[in-house]
Amino acid sequence: MTDLSHLDDQGRARMVDVSSKTDTTRIAVAAGELVTTPEVVALVRADDMPKADVLATARIAGIAAAKRTWELIPLCHQLALSSVKVMFDFTDTSITIEATAKTKGPTGVEMEALTAVAVAALTLHDMVKAVDPAAVLDGVRLISKEGGKRGHWTRDDAPGRDGTPGAGEQPVEKTGRSAAVVVASTGVAAGTREDRTGPLIRSWLEDKGFAVRGPLVHADADIAAGLADAVRPGPTLVVTTGGTGASPTDATPEATLALLDRELPGIAESIRQRGLEATPHAVLSRGVAGLVGHTVVVNLPGSPGGVKDGLAALDPILDHLLAQVAGGGAHE
């Protein structure tokens, strides 16, 4: 059994001596969510809560908390943080929070990232409690970390909100595969349209045993930052929906191409071909697919029909594709 680092040989709590460790760049990403009502989500998106500037206030609170983690958690070291970023996204019934903390030093910044998420979420709760006093802070967890002798670590599971399947849910087979769903829609981000595609993709992925993050919703103008954020923790798969057409605001393909290390043009063509069987408008989709490191990124259209066609095209090749990306799979 591995010894706990914060206990001495007599079982007493201690502050770990890191003076002999090498200074390296260390980055940690943590996430969580405030589960609330669709009304609150719409109000926050529209910046129409009784207490204004909800997200800005929560962001500042999270950053300030990360900087003071050593005062809040008794055995943490005082770190010179290079950067703390706190970002928010939305689902129909939650506000998701992700924090990235960075430093160069002898010890990691996991606790700073986790503290930023927790305090940002508590601040959100304080800001929305007049409308929804039953809001729940949930799922605060470390997503990834890098630096130090252990190198890069990425979370490969994401349990349900209580750590077990929820009411009416069935446990899924643990595949060790993670995914993120990214929705590009200015209307959904503003709360003026319903997200009709992100939940479809999430459900499909969960049925295949993926631990899924999202849907993460971004306005078209913000999709580049949103996609980079989804890819950063290194999930197995990122599936986007929306922003692939010929409209002046459609920017998902450009945002994707800026990140890709290698394209997988056959996947994008297969998705378009499948869509053409249902509508000639599918030819207008500019969606792309490819690899960012070992993460597969696939663009799907922004309509429910287009998403269903795209998932149908992905279904027979997905396992083989992921096996090849991971270094396995038959090549004959």
Is position 75 annotated in a ligand binding site? Answer: yes
- Residue pointed to by tokens 């922004």: 302
Distance CA 258, CA 59 (A): 27
Q: Find all residues with CB under 8 Å of 256, minimum gap 6, and list them.
A: 227, 240, 288, 290, 297, 299
User: Where does the chain have alpha helices with state H?
Assistant: 38-45, 54-67, 69-72, 110-128, 186-190, 198-207, 223-231, 252-259, 265-276, 304-314, 318-325
Active site annotation includes 126 = yes
Q: What is the DSSP code string of 212-263? A: EEEEEEE-GGGHHHHHHHHHTT--SEEEEES--SSSTT--HHHHHHHH-SEE
Tell me which of 126, 132, 138, 222 is the catalytic residue: 126
Distance CA 267, CA 299 (A): 10
- Residue pointed to by tokens 């990235």: 100
Is position 111 annotated in a ligand binding site? Answer: yes
- Residue pointed to by tokens 């002046």: 248
Distance CA 169, CA 78 (A): 42
Partners of 289 in the β-ladder = 298
Distance CA 218, CA 220 (A): 6
- The DSSP output letter for 7 is B
Is position 112 annotated in a ligand binding site? Answer: yes
Query: Active-site residue numbers?
Result: 126
Binding-site residues: 75-77, 111-112
Binding-site residues for substrate: 75-77, 111-112
